[in-house]
Amino acid sequence: MSEYFFELLAEEIPAWMHDTAAATLTQRLTKLVEETGGDAGGVCVNTTPRRIAFMLAKLPEREADRELEVKGPPKKAAYDASGNPTQALNGFLKKNNAAIGNVIDAGDYVMVRKQITGRGIDEILREQVPQIVESIRWPKMMRWGKGEFSYIRPIHSVISLFDGRHAPLTIFGVESGTTTVGHRTLAPQKIEISSYNDYVTKLELARVVVDAVRRRHVMAERARILANEAGGAPSTDASIWSQWQYLTEYPGVVRAEFRSEYLALPEEVLVTVMRVHQKQLPIRDASGKLMNSLLAVLDNEGDPLGNAAYGNSFVTNARFADAKFFYETDRKRKLADRLEQLEHLQFQEKLGNYAEKTRRIESIVRDLGGDADALTAAHLCKTDLVTEMVKEFTDLQGQIGGIYAREEGYPEVVWQAIYDQYALPRTMSGALVSLADRIDTLAGFFSIGAKPTGSKDPFALRRAAQGIVQILLLRDEREVKVGIERLIDLGVGQAGAPDLHDDLLAFFAERVKTILEQTFAYDEVAAAMEAGWASSLTDLADRVESLHAVREDANFLSILDSAKRIANITAGHASTSVDAKKLEHDTEKRLNELADAVGTHIDELLAERRYRTALESFAALAPELEKFFDDVMVMVDDEGVRRNRMSLLRKVGNAVMKIADVTKIVVDRRDYK
């Protein structure tokens, strides 16, 4: 089999873009390899900060020859009245290099079969690889030099090798060759490459580790050793590895120290500075406490002169010095004394300032039945927006307020509610404050016509709504027994826009669907939502879950069929009140009695949210229902009798419709045999 190797040398590509780009590239290359009859298992994509490299290891030398059927003119147009070929047919044959003897009758049309000789793979690659590489859609493109091309970063060189020979191609005007360069500062010399293995080996010698996963492993091990030497371990709370592996070509790590006086700052601040601002990894001791040491990425083998350790200490101390200044400034003023400042902090031009928003949040929390602690948290929840710390570290809003409240001696339930307001709350009070804040934001923005459209959602309203849904799905001691509908009423009440109720309800319906569809099938979600959702999301979740469970059962088909028959025959009929005196047949009398008995039983089960058992009880009615349809004619001329029978069927059907509109479930009957 044949091997193809490709490298694109560019300038440093942002770390967060590598994974997606590599995945896209792998997918397209796999498709290409499969189309040419190669083995997709041989596709291997690797990236470093400045390189995109791939190997296609298991390629045939040529595409397989194949036969192609080419459709010609309609038979009517292909032959004249006396059966001789027309000009249309002759033209078609000429174009396809075929003779009259090759014509095949294909019903209404004629056709010919053509032998296609497979092309050489190198030829296909030279045509396809530039297209595949050039068409990667990077999140933020740029132009350079004369400005003719747009890509993630300027392109320096390209290697294209087919079985060790140069397979020339051009990427954005850069002609391919067979050389690359090593590490930018440690081994910048030119290197001649003959194959993928050769590439990996030679680059390793030139201080470049091609495989991102290996860079990560080397760094993780080095980090562990360095932290260990300092008497601790690398903090495990870091998603930092996926960045680190794309920040260097050589997988180095350095340890640096900062002044221990800064350990007095809130841990969240220290961690944010290190992780978010400096892309460093904190070190913790055995008890999990932060140490005054950190780990930083290093695109070098080591740091024998201590330069990188010095630089990282320097910059971290500088950042912490700023943070300490902010912290000390902030602590001179209590959160409660900051409320007045919120009058001057605008929430949104048309929606007033944060003091007004705070009053609305408090009011909603009160209406939701929040206790004194919840109200205190609501009262203070936005005050950290006017602290120096949040002005500097905006992603710590909420957390900073919580930390300051803790230090001012507020009870745990209060400071946690403030701390958690933008996350998933730990307490009931937190849940109430979060709900109130979010519904106020949603109703407010809807009231000024700023609801999201398409991909545009500048105020992150979808996320706000999703947050509400997630909180309302909580079942432990944080279960807020309030429906979306009621919450919307409170929100639009504060916004003075009651007519927005339906708009918001529809908006929430989409969010609920999105979240439930992460766990359940779309038709299960749709069926359960049809039976109502806006008064309790936990109830909705219970119903979807039981539907999901019962769907696998053998008797689900009888539930479905019964419900469908009832729905079809009673379309447009709503009444469920049956006049027992008008019932004639034994079968319908018995069904009525059963419906009453089972109906009562099901209602009891529904009250206890035992939906699965309820669905099973309904399934037990199926034989009786079948007998009814066999013995009794519903669509009789006598309107009274007809309507009475329809009411009976409605009564039977409604028992299940309270759980879900099961007729919306799509089944493949073969699954049930």
Partner 1 sequence: MSRVTFQSLILTLQNFWAERGCLIETPLDLEVGAGTMHPATFLRVLGPEPWNVGYVQPSRRPADGRYGDNPFRLGKHYQFQVILKPSPLEVQDLYLDSLRAIGLDLTKHDIRFEEDNWESPTLGAWGVGWQILLDGMEITQFTYFQQAGGIDLAPISAEITYGLERLTMFLSRKDSVFDIEWTNGVGYGPVRHQDEFEFSKYYFEVADIDLHWKLFDAYESEARRCLDTKLVLPAYDFTLKCSHVFNTLDARGAISVTERVGVIKRVRDLAVRCAQQYLASREELGFPLLKRGADVSSARDRADETSAPLGGTSV
Q: Using CB under 8 A as the criterion, which residues of the chain lie in contact with partner 1 when the complex forms?
A: 11-12, 14-16, 49, 140, 142-148, 154, 156, 184-186, 247-248, 252, 254, 256, 278-280, 296-300, 303-305, 307-308, 310-312, 314-315, 317-318, 321-322, 325, 344-346, 349
Question: Which stretches of 486-626 are assigned E, i.e. beta strand?
Answer: none
CB nearer partner 1, residue 191 or residue 583: 191
Residues 6+ apart with CB under 8 A from 181: 9, 157, 187, 188, 189, 190, 191, 206
b or e along 61-74 (b: 16 or more beta carbons within 10 Å of the residue's beta carbon)? ebbeeeeeeeebbe
CB nearer partner 1, residue 9 or residue 361: 9
What's the closest the beta carbon of residue 138 comes to partner 1, in angstroms? 10
Question: Which stretches of 233-334 are assigned E, i.e. beta strand?
Answer: 233-234, 252-257, 281-284, 290-298
CB nearer partner 1, residue 322 or residue 545: 322
What's the closest the beta carbon of residue 665 comes to partner 1, in angstroms? 48
Q: How far apart are CA 349 and CA 351, in angstroms?
A: 6
Q: How far apart are CA 353 and CA 341, in angstroms?
A: 10
Q: How far apart are CA 43 and CA 26, in angstroms?
A: 7
Q: What type of residue sits at position 199?
A: Y
199 three-class SS: helix
Beta bridge partners of 79: 85
Question: Which stretches of 24-178 are assigned E, i.e. beta strand?
Answer: 43-48, 51-59, 66-74, 104-106, 109-116, 155-162, 165-166, 170-171, 174-175
CB nearer partner 1, residue 253 or residue 578: 253
CB nearer partner 1, residue 1 or residue 318: 318
CB nearer partner 1, residue 21 or residue 256: 256
CB nearer partner 1, residue 39 or residue 322: 322
Query: What is the CB neighbour count within 10 angstroms for residue 576?
Result: 18
Residues 6+ apart with CB under 8 A from 87: none
Query: What is the CB neighbour count within 10 angstroms for residue 101?
Result: 6
What's the closest the beta carbon of residue 89 comes to partner 1, in angstroms? 54
CB nearer partner 1, residue 194 or residue 341: 341
CB nearer partner 1, residue 308 or residue 660: 308
Q: How far apart are CA 537 and CA 341, in angstroms?
A: 38
CB nearer partner 1, residue 83 or residue 147: 147
b or e along 249-277 (b: 16 or more beta carbons within 10 Å of the residue's beta carbon)? bbbbbbbbbbeeebeebbebbbbbbbbee
What's the closest the beta carbon of residue 269 comes to partner 1, in angstroms? 17
What's the closest the beta carbon of residue 51 comes to partner 1, in angstroms? 14
| Helix or strand (DSSP H, E) at 595 | helix 586-607
Name the nearest CA neighbour of 122 among 182, 183, 179, 163: 163
What's the closest the beta carbon of residue 541 comes to partner 1, in angstroms? 41
Backbone angles phi, psi at 64, to 5 degrees: -70, 145
Task: Please list the alpha-helical segments (H only) found in 368-427.
Answer: 372-380, 388-392, 399-407, 412-419
What's the closest the beta carbon of residue 404 comes to partner 1, in angstroms? 22
CB nearer partner 1, residue 145 or residue 454: 145
Six-digit token pair at 325?
A: 């200044």
What's the closest the beta carbon of residue 294 comes to partner 1, in angstroms? 10
What's the closest the beta carbon of residue 263 comes to partner 1, in angstroms? 19
| Helix or strand (DSSP H, E) at 644 | helix 639-657
What's the closest the beta carbon of residue 220 comes to partner 1, in angstroms? 19
486 three-class SS: helix
Q: How far apart are CA 453 and CA 457, in angstroms?
A: 7
Six-digit token pair at 553?
A: 């059962």
What letter would DSSP give residue 581? Answer: G
What's the closest the beta carbon of residue 281 comes to partner 1, in angstroms? 12
CB nearer partner 1, residue 41 or residue 139: 139
What's the closest the beta carbon of residue 278 comes to partner 1, in angstroms? 7
Name the nearest CA neighbour of 151 among 48, 14, 248, 30: 14
CB nearer partner 1, residue 94 or residue 391: 391
What's the closest the beta carbon of residue 12 comes to partner 1, in angstroms? 4
Question: Do 512 and 455 form a contact (C-beta atoms < 8 A)?
Answer: no
> Is the dihedral angle over the CA atoms 204, 208, 214, 216 positive or is it negative?
positive
CB nearer partner 1, residue 256 or residue 480: 256
What's the closest the beta carbon of residue 293 comes to partner 1, in angstroms? 14
